[in-house]
Structure 1
């Protein structure tokens, strides 16, 4: 049985203007958390 020679996966360069998923999630959740904290009944 012959296996193909191992080649590591090519390193992908991050594209220029794309927003990372983590940044996108933080941009959505942080204002929501602040709004909930501000609108809580005291």
Structure 2
């Protein structure tokens, strides 16, 4: 059996200025948490 020579997968380069998925999660959850805190019954 012959295996092809091993080559590491090329690293994905982040495009210039593209926000990471973490930024999207924070942008969605932060206003929701603030709104929930503001609308809590006192």
Q: What stretches of structure 2 of length at least 5 have no aligned partner? A: none
Q: What stretches of structure 1 of length at least 5 have no aligned partner? A: none
The size of the alignment, in residue pairs, is 42
**Could you state the TM-score of these two structures normalised by the residue count of structure 2?**
0.85
CA RMSD of aligned residues (A): 0.9
**Could you state the TM-score of these two structures normalised by the residue count of structure 1?**
0.85
Q: Give structure 1 regions of 4+ aligned residues with deviation exceeding 6 angstroms.
A: none
